[in-house]
Amino acid sequence: MTVGFAFSPDQLHAQIPKVEFCTCSNNNLAAHTRSSIFMQIGTKKDGTPKRPRGRPRAYDPETALRRAAEAFWKTGYAGTSLDDITAATGMNRPSLSAAFGDKHQIYVKALSAYWEYKFGAMRRALEAGGTLAETLMKVYDTTLSIYFAGEEQGLGCFVVGTAITEAPGDVEVRNIVAKGFEKLDTDFEARFKLAIAAGELKPDADPRALALLTTATMHTLAVRARSGSSQNELRKLAQKVVNVICG
């Protein structure tokens, strides 16, 4: 995993992978698509596609993996069978296994790719400039555009919706989830420290507590999106939290 990172004032404009995200402050959010969220699967660090070695394959491995990831997002890890994955990818079981490994390996690739995408989007929102309140709303607008991905019915967060139930019994998944949450908390904590230094928050404000509140709200948005709340309703909820944080 190479995602997420705390940043200092001198690092606010450090180079990071470019990720398209919503910067608007109204309800007409620029939608991500679920396929675009998993575009980094099968991609080099510089963003260019990996070229398969040997003879050309009869299928596109990147497309196949993205479709498998989308299947996991809809029905979860346990609820997605190998038959579901073969149907989504158009590949039979032997070809799927030879290309990508077993179901667990495919899922871990999808989980890691989601973190890469989401943390890139969050980092861009945090570095976009503006007041603390504006920055937090950019973060939540970005978050919601991922959770809904251009659809009326949101699936929420891939991590919250699919990995949390697997984490207690799967050490690899649990470690990926825990490291991701910690990196997210750390980046928000760094942003709140900057806000305190700039006089946007009281000197005695607790940046760690505010970071945990911010990420906890993201998790709440994910659960509510998956359970049927509209994007507009959840944006109003996010705005209330920002009002509480910023005063």
Q: What is the pLDDT of residues 112-157, one digit of tens each?
A: 999 999 999 999 999 988 999 999 999 999 999 999 986 778 999 9
Give the mean model confidence (pLDDT) for residues 228-242: 97
Helix (H) or strand (E) holding 59, with range, is none
Q: How far apart are CA 218 and CA 27, in angstroms?
A: 17
Q: Based on the number of CB atoms within 10 Å of its own CB, is 95 exposed (0-12), middle (13-18) or buried (19 or more)?
A: middle
For residue range 16-48, list pLDDT tens digits in order: 233 233 333 343 334 455 556 665 554 544 544
| Whether pLDDT at 58 is above 50 | yes
The whole-angstrom distance between residue 97's C-alpha and the CA centroid of its chain comes to 26
Higher confidence at residue 137 or residue 98? 137
Beta bridge partners of 43: 49
| Whether pLDDT at 204 is above 80 | yes
| Whether pLDDT at 103 is above 60 | yes
Q: What is the pLDDT of residue 41?
A: 55
Give the mean model confidence (pLDDT) for residues 51-74: 73
Higher confidence at residue 35 or residue 220? 220
Looking at every residue in the chain, the average pLDDT score rounds to 82
SS3 call for 56: coil
In 3D, which of 181, 1, 170, 172 has the Cα closest to residue 78?
170
**Confidence band for 64, pLDDT divided at 50, 70 and 90:** confident
| Whether pLDDT at 10 is above 70 | no
Q: What is the pLDDT of residue 21?
A: 30
Is the pTM for the entire model greater than 0.85? no
| Whether pLDDT at 237 is above 80 | yes
Q: How far apart are CA 78 and CA 25, in angstroms?
A: 37
Q: What is the pLDDT of residue 208?
A: 98
Q: What is the pLDDT of residue 66?
A: 87
Q: What is the pLDDT of residue 247?
A: 85
Q: 5 near 183, Cβ under 8 Å? A: yes
Q: 130 near 124, Cβ under 8 Å? A: no
- Residue 131 tokens, joined: 């007041």
Q: b vs e for 61-82, b when ≥16 Cβ sit within 10 Å of the residue's Cβ?
A: bbebbbbbbbbbbeebbeebee
Q: What is the pLDDT of residue 15?
A: 28
